[in-house]
Structure 1
Amino acid sequence: MKHLLKFAMVGVLNTALGYAVIFGCMYLFGLGAVVSNVLGYAVGLVVSYSLNRSFTFRSSGARRVEAVRFVAIFLLAYLANLGVLVLSTRRFGWHEGVAQVIAGVVYFGLSFVLNKYYVFRGARVESAAADAPRES
């Protein structure tokens, strides 16, 4: 449960930072919306990976392998989010706002599970060993 809470905290911080970069690029540096969005998401992705690796899961696995997996999971979770959104609105006729929230929950849940059990899976073994009672 502590991983889930930490993952959510990183997500909130990451979202705020991503929007700060997006709006800073647009309104302070005069960049276009698309370029600003790409830069904001790029910064967010790096920060999210770094914080989830060090804070959420406390991983000491191979950085390059984890980073590639992290980006792959981000893309997979985003495609799942998009799929749920399109299916919910076009096939089932749900309200777009409701569909966005449900799609967001799917993104968050899938991203958390795959990051915990695939991207940072080595951290589970190490954190379990660190949390185990020590014999004197």
Structure 2
Amino acid sequence: MRQLLRFAVVGVLNTAVGYAVIFACMYLVGWGAVVSNIAGYAVGLVVSYTLNRTFTFRSAAGKKREIVRFLSIFMVAYLANIGVLMLLIDHLGMHKGWAQLAAGAVYTSLFYVLSKYYVFVEAHSEATSR
């Protein structure tokens, strides 16, 4: 349960940092919304990986493999998020706000499970064998 709480804290932090970068790029640097969004997500992913590796899962495994896996599960979780969002809005007629919350829950749940059992699996294996 503590690990899930740490994961949530990291999620809030990387989201805040990502949005700070997005708005700084748009309003201080003068970049467009799309480029600013890309920059914010890139910084947010670095923060997320770093904090999840060191704080949430406390991994000591090889970084190269973990980074590739981390980026892979981000894409899987993000595509699941978009798929659920489109399904709920376009096919089930759900309100867009509620659909965003539901799709976000799918993204977060999938990202946590895949992080724990695929990206940081060695850290998880060591923790359960103690």
Give the TM bin, normalised by the shorter chain: over 0.9
Distance in structure 1 (CA, Å) of the matches to 2:87 and 2:11: 25
For residue 124 of structure 1, report the CA deviation from its aligned partner.
1.4
Runs of 4+ in 1 over 4 A off after TM superposition: none
Distance in 1 between the 2:125 and 2:76 partners? 25
Give unpaired runs (5+ residues) of structure 2.
none
Aligned to 1:74: 74
- 2:89 paired residue number: 89
1:41 matched residue in structure 2:
41
CA shift, 1:125, in A, is: 2.5
Give the TM-score taking structure 2 as reference length: 0.97
Paired position in structure 2 for 1:118: 118
Structure 1: any 5+ residue segments left out of the alignment?
Answer: none
SS in 2 for 1:93: coil
- 8 Å contact kept, 1:58–1:127: no
Report matched runs for 1:1-136 at 5 Å.
Answer: 1-129=1-129, 132=130
Name the CA distance, whole Å, in 2 between partners of 1:74 and 1:13.
Answer: 17
SS in 2 for 1:31: coil
Letter in 2 for 1:80: A
In 1, Cα distance between equivalents of 2:43 and 2:10: 13
TM-score (normalizing by structure 1): 0.93
TM superposition shift of 1:3: 1.2
Which of these two proteins has the greater Rg computed from alpha carbons? 1
State the aligned residue count: 130
- Displacement after TM superposition at 1:60 (Å): 0.6
User: How far 1:14 sits from its partner (Å)?
Assistant: 0.3
- Secondary structure class of the residue paired with 2:29: coil
Deviation per CA, 1:7-54, whole angstroms, max 9, x where unpaired? 100000000000000000111111111111111000000110000000
Distance in 2 (alpha carbons) for counterparts of 1:125 and 1:79: 28
